[in-house]
Chain A
């Protein structure tokens, strides 16, 4: 319980920091980068959840695309408010993931990685060519979300960038808490054993497929919500937004952050890569891809276990000769 208390205190500090950060630092670019980071955090947490059952999904952007297009079509055609499109987008992505998972998770391993990669390409091709629904390469423009009023408080998406920041932070918090708690339940232990040794787990009576599909579906839900939020934030959706490059980016974020944890690592990786990517775009312009790639390489080289591992590396530097705290 003591450990939990410490963890909860840490979460409290982080949440306070997130709430007051935009009031202290009034930097438009940083706020935009943080909002986008939140969206990528959702996807990275989803990827990590799938990795928790020992599978590597290389098509997470496909679920962002499904969520994004569902939200875009709902908002632009039906004028449905954002607080309804987000869960609907998540549900749509989860539904697709559930069916896809039931089919492709049977094979697992490297084949699953390639099958999801192929699925990602399929969604890109469909979004580019199914002009009746997705409007092809020109994409769909979205209206600015209507003002919400809760009690006397009016939340205006048109007047300030803050609502999107808080919305993405809130969603990351919800997703993070769910997956963090899940990791400490019976299901979390089961998923870890499935990742560690699926054959042994199966022989111990664990229904592999059940847990794989549950995690894949749950991950897709939050990834879909992330995609929808991204689309609402950019006010546009189109084929280049969610391609294989974005699926790869999610994978890079998780490994750069630290794949050993279910929430902290992916969140750190998404924050680091999105924020540095934004500033690289501003500072170096054309050199952004190069510097982005070099940053990822440098992190993997220096911290193979991800940014999360930085504490251990510092401990080793401070006390040479010891292995550092584990």
Chain B
């Protein structure tokens, strides 16, 4: 088996991990799944397309702008839509409706045809007789860096402590003077920003069209379920596992590897509903 397959697995894992960690953060604070999370991924890819491909800005400024604008859109959506509705079932449906809204707006602005983004890093790394794509290696490094940053933020800063406290016991956190609703907005912003970064770093590798957000969303949901709902570490491990299934599985069984991912999830749910890694906090 070529080593490139494992690099591809890591690239896929990076998308799923970035998506799943944002989604699980939002879930742990607000108690709902933001089904429009994939569309934030898609908008991040479009932001990079605009700035990097169209306007000729650099790739990194493109990523930063993508994260900031899409994160801001996420905060707006949380403040103006999700919070005003406030009933779980209705919020879920509102987030599903947001899928059509975002896809509709992007189709209106950019048209339905797929766009390609030029490669930010060309060339290959040669290590021990194996050639690896620079671009893919870079993607994985960025994703790892982001996850490390998120981990440090959650575990080493005061704000991170507040977020963890609110996720565990919202009422108690409020009693200790934490503004949980404001944290909800912040977390939504971070989550959507991470999704946008995932979309942005993937844009040169894959293509960009208004519907690219659906698969990463579903994979992120599955990663969360594999890892145990509400657990960040679980989501990360679930994402890595799904990336490996998606790439290494595809090498052996082709298209049916998709089926494998879903079957693994259902199997996990049956054997260990609290998640395979058992980090479940709730």
Residues of chain A touching chain B, judged by Cβ–Cβ distance below 8 Å, are 56, 103-104, 106-107, 110-111, 114-115, 117-119, 121-122, 125-126, 129, 244, 248, 251-252, 255-256, 259, 286-294, 296-297, 300-301, 304
Give the dominant DSSP class at A's interface. Answer: helix
Identify B266's interface contact among A115, A251, A256, A291, CB under 8 A. A115
Report the Cα distance A111→B33, complex, angstroms.
12
Contacts of B108 on A, CB cut-off 8 Å?
A: 286-287, 290
Q: Is there an interface contact between B104 and A291, defined as CB atoms closer than 8 Å?
A: yes
Contacts known (A286-B107, A287-B104, A291-B104); A297 close to B265, Cβ less than 8 A: no
Q: Is there an interface contact between A297 and B35, defined as CB atoms closer than 8 Å?
A: no
Contacts of B273 on A, CB cut-off 8 Å?
A: 107, 111
Chain B, 206-233, CB within 8 A of any chain A CB: 214, 218, 221-222, 225, 229
Q: Is there an interface contact between B100 and A292, defined as CB atoms closer than 8 Å?
A: yes
Asked if B26 is at the interface (CB within 8 A of a chain A CB), the reply is no
Identify A118's interface contact among B92, B112, B214, B265, CB under 8 A. B265
Interface size on B, residues (CB 8 A): 39
Q: Is there an interface contact between B101 and A125, defined as CB atoms closer than 8 Å?
A: no
Q: Is there an interface contact between A122 and B35, defined as CB atoms closer than 8 Å?
A: no
Q: Among B57-65, B79-87, B119-127, which stretch is in contact with chain A?
A: B79-87
Contacts of A259 on B, CB cut-off 8 Å?
A: 89
Contact with A along B60-79 (1 / 0, CB 8 A): 00000000000000000000
Identify A121's interface contact among B103, B218, B256, CB under 8 A. B218
Contacts of A114 on B, CB cut-off 8 Å?
A: 221-222, 225, 265, 269
Chain B, 84-115, CB within 8 A of any chain A CB: 84-85, 87, 89-90, 92-94, 96-101, 103-105, 107-108, 112
Report the Cα distance A107→B270, complex, angstroms.
7
Contacts of B256 on A, CB cut-off 8 Å?
A: 125, 129
Report the Cα distance A117→B81, complex, angstroms.
24
Identify B269's interface contact among A107, A289, A296, CB under 8 A. A107
Report the Cα distance A254→B266, complex, angstroms.
26
**Count of A-B contacts with CB under 8 A?**
112
Q: Is there an interface contact between A301 and B265, defined as CB atoms closer than 8 Å?
A: no
Contacts of A301 on B, CB cut-off 8 Å?
A: 81, 84-85
User: Nearest CB to that of A103 among chain B residues?
Assistant: B270
Asked if B116 is at the interface (CB within 8 A of a chain A CB), the reply is no
Report the Cα distance A302→B107, complex, angstroms.
27
Q: Is there an interface contact between A126 and B101, defined as CB atoms closer than 8 Å?
A: no
CB proximity of B216 to chain A, nearest CB, Å: 13
Identify B96's interface contact among A251, A291, A304, CB under 8 A. A251
Q: Is there an interface contact between B90 and A111, defined as CB atoms closer than 8 Å?
A: no
22 contacts between A and B (CB under 8 A): A104-B266, A115-B265, A115-B269, A117-B221, A118-B262, A118-B266, A121-B218, A122-B259, A122-B262, A125-B255, A125-B259, A129-B255, A248-B99, A252-B93, A259-B89, A286-B107, A290-B108, A292-B100, A293-B101, A296-B93, A300-B94, A304-B90
Report the Cα distance A8→B258, complex, angstroms.
49
User: Nearest CB to that of B225 among chain A residues?
Assistant: A114
Identify A252's interface contact among B97, B104, B259, B266, CB under 8 A. B97
Contacts of A291 on B, CB cut-off 8 Å?
A: 104
Q: Is there an interface contact between A248 and B265, defined as CB atoms closer than 8 Å?
A: no
